[in-house]
Amino acid sequence: MGLDYRVRCCPDGLVTDRRRRIKVLDATIRDGGICNNWLFEEALVQKTFQALSQSGVDYMEIGYLTSEGLFDPDKVGPWRFCRDEDLRRVVAPGRMKISALIDCGKLRPDELPQADDSLIDVVRIATYAKDLDEALRLNDQAKENGFETFMNVMAVSTLEPEEVDAFLKRLAVSSVDNVAIVDSFGALYPYHVRYLVHKYMNYLGESIGVGVHLHNNQQQAFANSITAIDEGVDFVDATIHGMGRGAGNCPLELLLFYLDNPRYDVRPVLELVDDFASMRDSLRWGYHLPYAITGFFNIHPKSGIDRMATPERYACRPMYEKLSHRLDQAAKAG
């Protein structure tokens, strides 16, 4: 693939080196599964594994590790639990690493498998800053069991700068391998991401990788990924066709177009678009105003998701005014 027919009017910029060293984590089944309770056809999960392997994606986050009993197994797909017998039907060990997420509090450290017995390579821990003690216990146990670990401290946009400093200081002296800047609410603009990338990298030093997990409420997930790459992060999360809760995530296909790196082959991913795009109308991820409004107001997307399930979904002025009033009152109150 040559660049001769691409954009001609500008030099190719100074970002090429950074684009070359980035790693890509696909979270389609894990994060996209929030839209459909992980009830994917097994053949599609197999096809996704194959396509991602062929595309050269570095990590596939295939689901969650969750304590038995926390969800009714008749109502959620197997990727909410990632039992080894389910993984074995889909995953063949290879170059691509398999990641599973733990919602902090939904798995005890003593329930973690041993890496040697598992098809999982990477344990990611999603936590709020306030639950960092428990998250670090999970991290330490996961490291002891032989896993590579990632820490996702969620909803960073709701924290004060001092709170961000505080959790970064603790992570800097932990055994965690990678930390993601997590824009749970899709509230961040590129200048926020630029600031946070510098802060995370400064605190976490050379030995801990920094990445981004971004949501697309304001059509910024891919743009914020580009900003993060330009500022020097080590990895970026994406999902096929942007599938994910609410507005969804950075679309993997756009990210691979942008990276334009011979290490990646976008074509197997394009082959999956048909399967995933056909779910979009019923599952309603993508650009919809209710999600944009929760992103703008820096709140959880739940009210947007609830509204999208009603026929009044696009009656956006009342939604905006109600939130604006409520949040103004809250701001005045304290």
- Give the footprint of its own copies on residues 137-176 (CB under 8 A): 156-161, 163-164
Instruction: Note whether 195 binds its own copies by CB under 8 A.
Output: yes
- Return the residues of window 41-70 that contact its own copies according to CB under 8 A: none
Distance CA 332, CA 238 (A): 37
Q: 267-285 burial by CB neighbour count: b if 16+ within 10 A, else e?
A: ebbbebeebbeebeeebbb
* DSSP string for residues in 245-308: STT-B-BHHHHHHHH--TT---HHHHHHHHHHHHHHHHH--S--HHHHHHHHTT--THHHHHHH
- Interface characters, 4-43, with its own copies (x: CB under 8 A): xxxxxxxx-xxx----------------------------
Structure tokens at 77: 């797909």
- Interface characters, 73-102, with its own copies (x: CB under 8 A): ------------------------------
From the list 24-32, 42-50, 109-117, 315-323, the region that binds its own copies by CB under 8 A is: 315-323
Return the ∠ at Cα 68 (arms to 67 and 70), rounded to 5°.
75
First to last CA, the chain: 56
Phi then psi for residue 85, to 5 deg, are -65, -30
Nearer CB in complex with its own copies: 73/161? 161
Residue among 166, 279, 283, 316 that touches its own copies (CB under 8 A): 316
CB of 40 to its own copies, least distance (A): 17
CB of 144 to its own copies, least distance (A): 31
From the list 27-35, 40-48, 98-106, 310-318, the region that binds its own copies by CB under 8 A is: 310-318
Nearer CB in complex with its own copies: 82/154? 154
Paired with 82 in beta bridges are: none
Nearer CB in complex with its own copies: 75/326? 326
Helices within 173-266 (DSSP H only): 190-204, 221-231, 252-259
Paired with 59 in beta bridges are: 25, 97
- Interface characters, 221-260, with its own copies (x: CB under 8 A): xxxx-xx--x----------xx--------x-xx--xx--
User: What number of chain residues touch its own copies (CB under 8 A)?
Assistant: 76
- Return the residues of window 204-223 that contact its own copies according to CB under 8 A: 216, 218-223
Residue among 166, 172, 273, 279 that touches its own copies (CB under 8 A): 273
Distance CA 302, CA 155 (A): 14
